[in-house]
Amino acid sequence: MILTVTLNLALDVTYDVAALVPHTTHRVRAVRHRAGGKGVNVARVLHTLGQETVATGLCGGPTGALITQELTDSSVPHDLVPVAGDTRRVVTVTDADATVFAEPGPIVAPQEWEHFQDRFAARAARARVVVLSGSLPRGLPSDAYAVLTRLARRAGAKVLLDSGGPALRAGAAAGPDLIKPNAAELAEAGLDPRTLPLVVSRGPDGMLAGTPQGHWEALPPEILPGNPTGAGDAAAAALALALRDDTPWPQALADAVALSASAVVTPVAGDVDLATYHRLREHVTVREIPCPW
């Protein structure tokens, strides 16, 4: 089982408009509401692929209730831990591209964090891989991902970390099996990529892997237009499967690039188009390269 963790869950609200123009009124053409946050998207993609997964995280208030209901309706297995504060909304405005407005999320009390760690440790004991994704809500220590990484390791699970800023920097220090930042998150965290097993996503420019076994670059066969929100989460789903199955890096990267591209053509984060995935998968180019850092 792959356990995904979303400490800062979100109700993803997607507004489709003709063109986003700051300081004007927009008539929204279509509105979509859906349980989100990076780990939830990873779990949804794994579920779509028919893989065993459970989404955990911190969830509260009326927005949290909507999220729980949506996950149940979508049959995405979940075990969310309650908090008193109301879960946030993340609004994505899509026109030819995507613009994201991410609320900060609730303030989590110390005892809620303690309770989560206990539930997490019990769940991690039944997981082969744990995916730690996204931002941290207020109230959590910046080393929250380091704490969870150590608990997961103790429970015998591998760890994939996908975050940014101080949360990524502190989490990386605990030695997860793989980190998957995008290029901006890596730069923002100030990490030395030569010291870490990592896959860096570069949007339409594909992905770079730096591992003890070597370095690779993977490029998509074509650039597809659409909503890139959630593409990184689809890549994380592919990489979690690769960690679980000890897939060789070139194959893992090709899967990640194709699955990520197949998320771009769907209108909401967390969805992948399996026909696009299978079509692109055979044509992703992977080549071994000298250390790019």
Binding region for ligand TA6 (CB under 6 A):
8, 10, 12, 36-38, 41, 90, 102, 134-135, 229-230, 232-233, 269
Least separation in angstroms between CB 81 and ligand TA6: 17
Q: What are the strands, taking DSSP E only, across the chain? A: 2-6, 10-16, 30-36, 53-60, 78-83, 88-94, 98-102, 129-133, 158-162, 178-179, 198-201, 207-211, 214-219, 285-288
**SS3 for 151?**
helix
Active-site annotation holder among 233, 255, 271, 273: 233
Give least dist CB 151 to ligand TA6, A. 20
- For ligand TA6, the closer CB: 6 or 149: 6
E strands present in 18-87 = 30-36, 53-60, 78-83
Distances (CA, A) of 231 to 89, 187, 264: 19, 19, 6
Nearer to ligand TA6, 112 or 162 (CB): 162
Specify the residue, 55 or 208, whose C-beta has the smaller distance to ligand TA6: 55
Asked whether the beta carbons of 235 and 259 are under 8 A apart, the reply is yes
Smallest gap from residue 284 Cβ to ligand TA6 (A): 21
**162 a catalytic residue:** no
Minimum distance from residue 276 beta carbon to ligand TA6 (Å):
18
Cα separation, 289 vs 286, in Å, equals 9
Determine the Cα–Cα distance for residues 242 and 246; give it in Å rounded to an integer.
Answer: 6
| CA–CA distances in Å: residue 59 to residues 74, 87, 282 | 17, 6, 39
Residue nearest to ligand TA6 (CB): 134
CB closer to ligand TA6, 34 vs 244:
34
Task: Please report how close the Cβ of residue 167 comes to ligand TA6 at its closest, in angstroms.
Answer: 9
Minimum distance of ligand TA6 from residue 54's CB (angstroms): 17
DSSP 227-278: --TTHHHHHHHHHHHHHHHT--HHHHHHHHHHHHHHHHTSSSTT---HHHHH
Number of neighbours of residue 167 by Cβ within 10 angstroms: 25
Q: Which is nearer to ligand TA6, 112 or 233 (by Cβ)?
A: 233
Give whichever of 220 and 270 is closer to ligand TA6, judged by the CB atom. 270
Query: Among all residues, which ones are annotated catalytic?
Result: 233
